[in-house]
Structures are given as structure tokens and as C-alpha cells.
Amino acid sequence: MAVRVLHIVTYMGRGGLETMLMNYYRQIDRSEVQFDFLVHREFEADYDAEIHELGGKIYHISRLIPWSHSYRRKLKHFFQEHPEYKIVHVHQDCLSSVALQCAMECGVPVRIAHSHNSNQDRNWKYIVKRYYMKKIPIYATDLLACSNAAGKWMFRENTFQIVHNAINIAKYKYSPEISRKVRKQFNIENKIVIGHVGRFNPQKNHEFLIDIFAECIKKNSNAVLMLVGDGAGRKKIQDKVNKLGINKKVIFAGVRTNVNELMQAMDLFVFPSLYEGLGISIIEAQAAGLPCVISNMIPSESIVTENLVSVMQLSDSTLNWADHILSRVIEERRDCSEEIIKAGYDIETASKNLEEFYLKIYERQGIK
């Protein structure tokens, strides 16, 4: 019988964390390890149907409020009602300590915290999140991170292991045929396509990206910007685009199931985030052979190919960013598969490693 691992997440939409989990879930030997999910939203999310198809279960609970006694009672009740879960894998960023504490108090023997970021937005919630983040190593039995930067930020001096944001490399390998097909669909056959994939939230720095692109089209009116993703900040960015009068040059592609194909149509990938745990989109872009321009706030571990990624300072002017971006769009696409495999981002190998990790800790605890 397969070991069932309970992943605790906000919801299974098409974000970086969720995409990473699904990459592993599709590839892992489900006769040995099966994934189930405890989510904090009532609606059906993007990956829910596929999870059910793969044999996973999805449980719903109310939104996470860390100081809420009601929330904690519900969570403890869940663990008491489901003693079959001996491994709980929590992906709730700084607030992971809440679920980890409840799991510990209910006797769950293996409690995994997973860091997917290297910073937080500096808003009123920051102090609260930092308070709960410091408690994570107290309640977790195992600490995982997507990068050294993410692990050191969340876990400080505590020992952690790296689990790569691995991908199906073959899906992203550049195809001229797919590129032509997608360009035709969007009516951008003869355009310079600058691309970005990510949720519309402050971390991704879309406002700065729009300012950069506005400089790009001053220098080359043939450029278009393709933004893949959705989020609470989308309308604000659309309003900014309209105000600048560049709405005919910006494609809001929304949430997509075929990001790998959209990347074939891009000429260059830009990722000016304020911070990242790693940035799975950067790995995907390199797998597609795309020249990438990223900010200096993204962990260097995301650079897994030679001469494909260049780093710009966020303090640099939008004009400097635009000049550099346009200087790189003439580059030829190349196959980077071997470099990405060597760096450990091939999902076939990475999923076997994660499977072995789960089975070893299961055995370590002497779980029956």
C-alpha cells in the first residue's frame, strides 16, 4: 500500500509552488507514494480535477488565521479524524508553524516544512509572519527548501535539504513549429516577443516591468509584451498599460495550461522580481532556450545554463534594462537540456529522490 503524504497548501492554482508539486506528483511512483491535499479555499482550483484523476484526495478547511482558536480546533479535528496521515508536508510559507504545531499536538510523527521564498512583502502582516516563521523549526521534524537562499531565510542556522523545482524538460525544448503556431494564434508573427510568467502580485514587480517595456517600444516599436498569469494585481497593471497608451502592445494571456508552448513564441524572458525562492519560470525559460534577463534579487541557483541568463540591478534605470533586453533578442535558441539535467532540475531524477526521501523518513519513524 502506498504511503499517503498530506500536502497543506492555500489552494492548487497554477502558481509556481503548485506547479512544482504537480510536476512531482505526475512523475512520482504513485504505487509507492500518493499525494493528498488539505486546501484553504472552497472553490475548485486549476489542478483539482487532475489531482483526482491521479488518485489524490482534496480536503477543504477554512482560511488560515494564525491566531484563531476556531481555525486551530478545526485543524486538530481534521488530524484526529484522519490518523492515516503519518507525513504532513506544509507549504504555507511563514505561517507553516500553525499546521506543524497542530500536527505535532495530534501525534503526527513526520512534519515537513518547505520554504519556497527568500523574503516577504513589507506590509502590516510582515511582523506577524516573522513571529510565526521563527517557530517553524520547533514543530517541524524535517526542513526542505527550493534553494539555499530560501532555506537560510526561513530556517536560519537550522539544517535543511534542497528539493529542486524540477520540470519536465522535454516539454519545453524549443520547437520552431510550435513557435509559429502560437505566434499565429496571437497575431504576432513578425514581432519581437518579450515574455513573463507569474502571478500579478507585488513580488513579481509588474509595474517596473511595464515601465521597462514602455522604454523598449520607444526604441523598437515592433516589440510586444506577453504576460502569462493572473492575480489580484492584474487590473492595476492593466490600468497602468492603458494610461501609458500601450495596450495594443501588451498581451494579457491569463492563466494557461500550455505555458511551455507560449514560451516557444517568446524571443526573450524578463523576470524583475523583488525576491524569489528560486523562480520555476526561470528554469522553464532556460529549458526553452530563451535568453533571460532577471533581477539581482533572484537566487543565483536559478542560473543553470551557460551564457543564457543575465542579471540586472533593480536599481538600474528602466532605460538601461530596455537597452540590455533589446540587445539580447537576436540570439539563436539552443538546446539546454543537458545543462538543466546536470544541475538537478530534471523531474524524472528529482521525483525519485523525493520518493526515496518520503520512504526513508517513513521507515525512520518505524511507522506501521
Identify the architecture of domain 169-342 in CATH.
3-Layer(aba) Sandwich (3.40)
| Phi-psi group of 256: left, alpha or beta (phi > 0 → left; psi -120 to 50 → alpha; rest → beta) | beta
Identify the architecture of domain 3-166+346-364 in CATH.
3-Layer(aba) Sandwich (3.40)
Q: What is the pLDDT of residue 367?
A: 60
d(CA 198, CA 231): 9
Look over the chain and give the mean of its residue pLDDT values, rounded to a whole number: 95
| Whether the domain at 3-166+346-364 and the domain at 169-342 fall into the same CATH topology | yes
pLDDT tier, 125 (very low <50, low <70, confident <90, very high otherwise): confident
Of all residues in the chain, what percent carry a pLDDT higher than 90?
91
DSSP annotation of 319? H
Q: How far is CA 161 from CA 55, 100, 145, 167, 353, in A?
A: 28, 18, 6, 18, 12
Q: What is the pLDDT of residues 46-88, one digit of tens each?
A: 999 999 999 999 999 999 999 999 999 999 999 999 999 999 9
Query: CA 271, 281, 343, 297 torsion: positive or negative?
Result: positive
Please state the pTM of the whole predicted model.
0.90
d(CA 284, CA 20): 11
Q: What is the pLDDT of residue 121?
A: 76
Instruction: Report yes or no: 163 and 144 within 8 Å, Cβ to Cβ.
Output: yes
Residue-range domain boundaries for the chain:
3-166+346-364, 169-342
* The amino acid at 228: V
Of the given ranges (119-133, 247-261, 286-300, 315-329), which has the lowest mean pLDDT?
A: 119-133
* The amino acid at 197: V
Confidence check: pLDDT of 317 > 70: yes
Helix residue ranges, H only, 220-366: 234-244, 259-265, 280-287, 318-328, 337-342, 347-364
Could you give phi then psi for residue 181, rounded to 5 degrees? -60, -50
pLDDT tier, 336 (very low <50, low <70, confident <90, very high otherwise): very high
